[in-house]
Amino acid sequence: MKKWLLHYEFDTIKEITTLGLFHWDFKPNRRKREKPRRIPRVGGACKLIELSFKISIYFFEIDARTLHVYESLGFSLAGSNVTKEYIFEGEKFTEKSVLLNSIT
């Protein structure tokens, strides 16, 4: 997680307001019953600084090589949420796919 922060958020590391962990909750999908909806739920978090523009980053480690990163950016009720999957290979993280993208 430290390596991911240094690699992807090095220029904005002093502006991060919250760091923490999250997990996935699964709910039934009305349209496709075989594919449940994934909802990120924040677990433990540490508030670093208090700013009006929030940059919150939460981590969920799948295995030793796979990391899901949930980023919540913006003002209260006017921001975006993005969850991406990263693979650790060759001493760096590479982005594999976007799992969730929404506007709040």
pTM of the model: 0.88
Per-residue pLDDT at 4: 86
- The three-point CA angle 72-83-74 to 5° equals 15
**pLDDT digit string (tens) for 6-42?**
888 888 888 899 999 999 999 998 898 888 888 999 9
Task: Check whether 5 has a pLDDT greater than 90.
Answer: no
50, 86, 94, 75: CA torsion to nearest 10? -30
Per-residue pLDDT at 90: 86
Instruction: Give the position of tokens 């009720």.
Output: 77
Per-residue pLDDT at 46: 93
Q: What is the DSSP letter of 11?
A: T
Say how far apart CA 13 and CA 55 lie, in whole Å: 10
Per-residue pLDDT at 18: 94
**pLDDT digit string (tens) for 48-79?**
999 999 999 999 999 999 999 999 999 988 89
| 4 backbone dihedrals φ, ψ, rounded to 5° | -65, -45
